Every structure is written in C-alpha cells, then in structure tokens.
Chain A
Amino acid sequence: MDMNEIKEIFFQECEEQLAELESGLLKLNDGDRDPETVNAVFRAVHSIKGGAGAFGLDDLVAFAHVFETTLDCVRSNKLEPNQDVLKVMLKSADVLADLVTCSRDGGSVEESRTKTLVKELEALANGEMPSAAAEAPKPAAKAAPAAAAAPAPTDDSGFQPIPFTFDGFGGDEEAVLGNVFDISFKPTRELYSKGNEAALLLRDLSRLGEMSIACDMDTLPAFESMDPEASYFGWKISLKTAKSEDEVRAVFEFAEWDCELDVKPAEASEDEEQPMVPVPFDLSALDDGPAEPAAPAPAVVAAAETASNVTKAVAAAVEKKESAAAAAAAAAQNNAAAAAASAGQTIRVDLDRVDRLINLVGELVINQAMLSQSVIENDATGTSAVNMGLEELQQLTREIQDSVMAIRAQPVKPVFQRMSRIVREVADMVGKQIRLVTEGENTEVDKTVIDKIAEPLTHMIRNAVDHGIESPEKREAAGKDPEGTIKLSAKHRSGRILIELQDDGGGINRERVKQKAIDNDLIAPDANLTDEEIDNLIFAPGFSTADQISDISGRGVGMDVVKRSIQALGGRISISSKPGQGSIFTMSLPLTLAVLDGMVVTVAGQTLVVPLTAIVETLQPEASAIHSFGATQRLISIRNSFCPLVDVGRILNFRSTQANPVEGVALLVESEGGGQRALMVDAIQGQRQVVIKSLEANYTHVPGIAAATILGDGRVALILDVDAVVAASRGQSLKPEMSLAATG
C-alpha cells in the first residue's frame, strides 16, 4: 500500500467524519444536549485533525485545531451551544469540508472565509474561558526542561519520584507552581494497539512540572491468565504545575479516547506526594502453573502499604487463585467480547467488484430463465422433479439478485445532509430564516440514483429557499412563524422511492405563472387551465423567470431541466401548491438503474421493450379515430384531442411503409417536451422487469434505442428510447452518430 492509497483512505474517512460532524451539530441545533453527541462531534474534528497532521496538510490541521478548541469548551460545559454558537460551528463544518476537498483535489478555500471563522471560533473559546488560550500549546513543541530541579524527596521504599520543572514560556511562569492536579490515567488495550506508549505520555506530563507517580496494579490478573496484549496498569499522578488543566489534558490529546483519564485539582492544599510502592511479585507460579494446570495455584496476596500518610492507598495485589481452566474460560470470554465488538462493522469494497457481481447474477437470472423455458417446452405436465427443482432455483436466484442489489443500495442521508448546507448558505445570502427538516434519511436506494439525484435536488432546494419561502417580514405579516420550514422526506412506496420537498412558503403565484406563460407563448392568452395545469407550467421548457434572476436560483437552469434529469432516471415529478401555505414537490424514482419495468412489444417481427414509466395508457385504435393529416402525418383522436401517431417500426427503419394502425396497438407516451404521442406497435407481449445491458460497451450508441436487455429465450431485445423516438417524429433526424467502421 503506498502513501497515496493511505491518503485516499484518509479522505474517505474524512467524508464519514464530516457527515458525523454535521449530523451531530444538527442534533445539537435541535436542542439535543446529550454529552455523547458533543463527544461525537469533537471526535470527528479530532480524527480529521489527527489524520491531516500525519499527511502534513497544515491548513486543515490549523483550522481543525481551532475548531476543536472551541468544541472542547462546549464539551467541558464552558460554552453553551446555543443557536449563535452552532451557526458558527455549522459554518466551520462547511469550511472544514471545503478544506478537506481542497486537500484532496487541489485548489484553495478563500482565505478570508477561513480567517473570519477562525476569529469567530477563537472569540467563542476565549469569551467564555479566558484561561485557556485558543492555541493550546502542545508539550512536544516546548523547549528542553530547565536545569533547576527541586531536591528529590525519597521515601523508605527507596523509590525516588523524579521531579521535573519545565520552563515553557520564560522565567515569569517558573515561580508560580500553583496548580496541583490529581490525575488518574488508565490506558485501555486500544491505546497500546494503536502504537501509543504510556511511558512517553507520562514523560510528556512530567515536563509540565513537578510530578510524582504511582502505579496502580489492582487489576493485574494471575500470571497464567494474563493476556500479553491487554492493559492492566493504571497510574495515579500528582502534578504540580503552572499550567492550566487544559494544558495538562493536552498531553493526552491523542490518547484520550483510549484511556480512562481523570484530571482534577487536588483537594488538599498541601501537596502530598504519592510514592511508588514496591510490588511483591511472586514468580513461583511460573514453576508449578503449567505443570499442574488443574491444581490451584498458590494464593499469594501481597498488599503493600506505606507508612507515610498516603491519602489514596495504592494497593497492588497479585492474586493467583485461578486455575488454568478458569484462565482458559476468561480467554474464551475475551474472544467472545472481541467478536461482539466486530459485529455491525462494515467493509469497503471496490464498486467495480460489486458491479461485476451484479452482472454475474444478472446472467444467472437470464440463464435460469432460459433453462426453465426449455424444460417447460419438453415437459408439458410441469410436475417432474426437474421442474420442481427449477422452481426452487428460480426463487433462489431472485433472492440472490435482490440481495446483490441491496449491496449497492445506500441511504439517502449523505445527499440530504448536503442539502442542509445549501439551505444554510442560501438562506444566509437572501436573509431568510429557514429550518430544514429531514425525514426518512435512512431510506435506501441504488448508489447511481443517489449520485444523480443530488443535482436536481440542489436546484429545487435553492428554488424553495429563494422563491418558496417568504422573507421574515412577509411571513410575520401573514401571521406565520418568521422562520420558514423546508421538509425533505424520503420513503419507499411500491418498489420506488418517493422524495418529497415541502415548503411552508407562499405557494405558487398562479396569476404570475400564467401571465409569464402567456408572455412566453407557452399557452394561448384565453386558455382555460386548471390550477394543477398552471402549477405544472413551471416545468415547461422556456418558462423563464427572467425578472427574478438572482445569484441563487437564476442560473439559467429552469425547472424543465430538473424535470428532464428526473425523467432521465426513469422518475416522475409533480407539484401541488396551496396559496399561502406552500408547495410540495413529489419525485418518484426507481430504486435501481440496473433493472427496469418494461412493456414487451412486437414491432415488425422484432421484440422491443418500452419503459413502463413513459407509457400513460395503451389503446386499440379504431379506424374511425385515425385521421390523415397532410401528406404523411396521421393523428389519433383520444377523448376529443388529437395526438400524432408515430410508427415505431418506420422510425427505426424496421419497415419501409407505415403499418396499418388499426391492426396494431397504440401506446400513449409522454415525452420530455411534455407532449403526448401515440406510438404504434404491432402487439403487446407482456410486462416484465428487465435487466439493462449496455449497447455502448461493444457497439455504439444507437439513436432511438436506450439500451438492450436479454429476454427469457436468451435473445437480445432492444429498449426503446421514447424521448428520442418522439423527437424523431417531430422531424429531427434519427441518424446514427457513428457506426462500427462505416467507411472503408
């Protein structure tokens, strides 16, 4: 593994930490005061800082450090995480995310942004706790210990506590050795497994001032049940120093999560030094332990007390009561505990591998279908053992396919979290107060869908903030809460994911929308439209909101683009709006892009699949409903409106003359332009879920064809690109962009 790979892992972890950070901050914002939430937030920043330090990402470290310091004030209850504080913190989280992105992809974050926030963070940290400087000095950065050391007191055990004084910031501090801390430090197993060393931490601590230390060996088990990698020792330290508690804690900065640490000012005014107690350690167990595992080991209880007036008795006992069998049981218990800890873990898998697995399972499903079909052909009764076995196989393959698809499924949470940042930023920009409420963020959907939904969703959120929610003054005038609410929710419904974006703003101004549509020649001035039809006008291409162009939503992208990108995903979008109460955008998307619900049809002897999402209805045209229009066009009248007929076989060049519509079936489809067309096919074979196969992989893009699939008989069927076919029927040519070596 080279450095870049490790770095890549670090950035991946950063993403996770940032998500953790943001969700934690949002929880705090909602009034959650659980210390564990604060800890989680702190931990996230701390981990990013630690990792960034290892890779020398100085900008990131510097910012994370200031952020961390302020968070620490919150953690130690010195700073109340009220709305104002959290606003700064959320902004800082955004900047931190940007810094991570910049470190990975290059580029830089605007310095002014970082600097302003650093100042704000420092002000927060200093405002409430002037004693702790925003820049907590690290022991490692300090100069060498001063030569002047107090005379070392010795006790009767012969151990000599080694006092250190430390000259950190010049002579003036040296005189004040006012603070005395009782520190209890007990590392856990993880501390050592991460390559930390307690002795080094203690040495750093000793540099802060005069220190005496005692080892606590209470938990040391019998020798034969001792786990060589476990941590048994703890230390009680009395430190006399000029430094503040935070600076003392800073020594344990990188070990804090892997130890039990307690730092408190000593109660007694006279500093009592706790001498090290000699611990009798009976090694006799070594001799008879392994030889006679069943025999109880000699019990040696050694408790030691010193004559001095030690306030905290340090008793070290080495007990050897346990038999070897008990030791084995303990070891087994340890293993069980380790196994339990590993439950709920995740592994990172290369996406290519997952996709390959999905492809293979897709092939398995097709192969199984082919096998079933040929067995059924040869076994009319359908009762043979082979047939029964095949049915079970079919069920199994379906289950395998579902489980494999589930691997690619991811919760929509990351996208939703990104939205909360956008709401914050845009709301700030336009001076509105907006709260984003998310629901169902653990709803899972295929990764490709998640990746592609972010952009249209961003656009809609911007729109909702900019146009949907009114200004605080207007809201108050209307008797509403000055703080607007945008609700983003996701849920599963009948094999699709439903994403709803609801705002409690003013709703769609229908008068204005209608006027705009008339101005832009989208509708006739005297058109009589229902409210719903007017609302849906905002999705029409060419519906420009030119007089409202702003930094935020007027980026030359309209709602028609949003609708198109949702449709490209095989989804649908609709809007419902109530004046004065707000609007709801509803998006319904497929759970995966790997399979598609399609209608299998026959056109000129060929089997084609038409995506079900595009089809509005199917009908059998009657001769009386068909009307010729001009030289070649034909229209079909459906409930008193006329809809152009499109012969799919003709468009795809499968036949040279138009088929007789009366002999076929018409599929009424809705295309990207919003216009309806009746696609003529010869017959409908049925409806089924098909696995989408790429044509481009080995061939080229074929106009009018979206992709291919493999049917139960093993043959390739083409999936119709409804939008392209409709566009072609409008006179736009459907010529191949290129072909496989077309010219010699």
Chain B
Amino acid sequence: MSYAVKSLAQGSRELIAFRIGEQEFCVNIMSVREIRGWTQATPMPHAPAYVLGVINLRGAVLPIVDLSARLGMKDAEPSARHVIIVAQVKNRVVGLLVEAVSDILTITEENIQPVPEISSDLEKQYARGILAIDKRMICMIELDALFAEKALDKESEAA
C-alpha cells in the first residue's frame, strides 16, 4: 500500500504487459482483477467471433474475449498455455485471452509516446500510447475504449 502511495506521489503508474503473437501490449494494473489459466469456454449463440464463450469464475458467469481477434489480428487457438486476464471494464468483468503475461511495468508520463499518425481507426480507438522499454515496443491499451459501445453505455447508465 505504502508503495502504491509513493508511486502515485511521483506521478508514475503501473501497467501489466502481455503478449499476443509477436506484439506486446499493456493495460492499467488497476483494472486487472486476476490472471488465470485457460479453461474451455461454453460457446454463446449469436456471439461475435471474438467472444469465445463464457466460463465459470467462482460462481459468476464470465465472458471470454479473444483479444487477438478483437484487435483485428488473427483468431487465437487457445491452449493450456494461454492465460486469461480478468479485467474490470466499466461495471462488468471480462476475461481477456492473451498468449502470456510478460511483466509489470512502472512508468511515468515521460515514458509514453504518442501513437503515430499512420494508425488505422481500430488502433486509434484503443491505443493510448506507445512505450519503449528495453528496446521493446509496448502498446498501451485503453480497455474502456475497446469495449465502449453505445449499447453498453446505455446499459451501464440504467444499472
């Protein structure tokens, strides 16, 4: 706790970095509830392709999103080595399927570079910046933006 307070005081923040294919991404650690192994999901009828189905997370029904497919890359082929990042998006909990979690980064605002202009609309929607750490390029994702949708917003207002 004291560590977090100290970090905040210095204007830095913590991110969880993970890998999908050859690329690395990261999300704010505050939105991550837990990380767990892949279990077979129950497919949902009429679901978009990137929704793999739902799993049982200690009694709650948790939808699993193939983040690779969601980001417009090729569909994941889930295996026992894949992990699920259980994240809070607005008032819902969503499981994000990624290949591996690499590390926890502590960064300050200076580490974040703007997203280059060449990006397509999809990237613009979710990418909030690019980090250069140890010669790696890590894309910072805004989950709320990735799962922001009018219908979703409407429902969260009603809730």
A residues sitting closer than 8 Å to B (CB atoms) are: 359-360, 362-363, 366, 606-607, 652-654, 693-695, 697-700, 702-705, 708, 710, 714-718, 734-744
CB atoms of B59 and A693 under 8 A apart? yes
CB atoms of A741 and B60 under 8 A apart? no
Complexed CA–CA distance, A586 and B147 (Å)? 47
The chain A residue sitting closest to B47, CB to CB, is A739
User: Can you list the 7 inter-chain pairs with the closest CB atoms, starting with the nearest?
Assistant: A363-B59, A738-B151, A652-B45, A716-B42, A699-B63, A736-B46, A708-B61
CB atoms of B56 and A366 under 8 A apart? yes
Residues on B with C-beta less than 8 A from A652 are 45-46
Interface centre among A606, A652, A744 (most CB of B within 10 A): A744
Complexed CA–CA distance, A718 and B56 (Å)? 12
The chain A residue sitting closest to B95, CB to CB, is A698
What would 13 A/B residue contacts be, using CB atoms closer than 8 Å? A606-B43, A695-B54, A700-B155, A703-B45, A715-B56, A736-B47, A737-B151, A738-B149, A739-B48, A740-B94, A741-B148, A741-B152, A744-B121
Interface centre among A695, A700, A708, A736 (most CB of B within 10 A): A700
CB atoms of A740 and B45 under 8 A apart? no
CB atoms of B149 and A742 under 8 A apart? yes
Complexed CA–CA distance, A496 and B59 (Å)? 26
Complexed CA–CA distance, A661 and B47 (Å)? 26
Question: A-facing mask of B40-54, CB < 8 A → 1, else 0?
Answer: 111111111001011
Given known contacts A654-B43, A654-B45, A744-B72, A699 and B61 CB-to-CB distance under 8 angstroms: yes
Residues on B with C-beta less than 8 A from A695 are 54, 61
CB atoms of B92 and A606 under 8 A apart? no
CB atoms of A697 and B146 under 8 A apart? no
Residues on A with C-beta less than 8 A from B61 are 693-695, 697-699, 708, 710, 716
Complexed CA–CA distance, A714 and B55 (Å)? 9
CB atoms of B70 and A741 under 8 A apart? yes
CB atoms of B93 and A740 under 8 A apart? no
Complexed CA–CA distance, A193 and B92 (Å)? 49
CB atoms of A704 and B46 under 8 A apart? yes
Residues on A with C-beta less than 8 A from B60 are 693, 697-698
Given known contacts A740-B147, A744-B121, A714 and B56 CB-to-CB distance under 8 angstroms: yes
B73 CB → nearest A CB, Å:
12
The chain B residue sitting closest to A707, CB to CB, is B61
Task: Apart from A653-B45, A698-B94, A699-B51, list 19 A-B contacts with CB within 8 A.
Answer: A366-B59, A653-B46, A697-B92, A698-B62, A699-B92, A700-B155, A702-B44, A702-B46, A708-B42, A714-B56, A716-B56, A717-B42, A737-B151, A738-B152, A740-B47, A740-B152, A741-B48, A741-B146, A741-B149
Residues on A with C-beta less than 8 A from B155 are 700
Complexed CA–CA distance, A736 and B149 (Å)? 14
Residues on A with C-beta less than 8 A from B59 are 359-360, 362-363, 366, 693, 710
From the candidates B42, B70, B72, B148, name the one contacting A606 in the complex (CB within 8 A). Answer: B42
- Interface residue B65 (Cβ < 8 Å from any Cβ of A): yes
CB atoms of A740 and B63 under 8 A apart? yes
CB atoms of A718 and B44 under 8 A apart? yes
Residues on A with C-beta less than 8 A from B62 are 698
- Interface residue B58 (Cβ < 8 Å from any Cβ of A): yes
CB atoms of A716 and B54 under 8 A apart? yes
Residues on B with C-beta less than 8 A from A698 are 60-63, 92-94
Residues on B with C-beta less than 8 A from A740 are 47-48, 51, 63, 65, 94, 147, 149, 152
CB atoms of A699 and B44 under 8 A apart? yes
Query: Which positions 10-64 of chain B face chain A at CB distance < 8 Å?
Result: 39-48, 51, 53-56, 58-63
- Interface residue B7 (Cβ < 8 Å from any Cβ of A): no
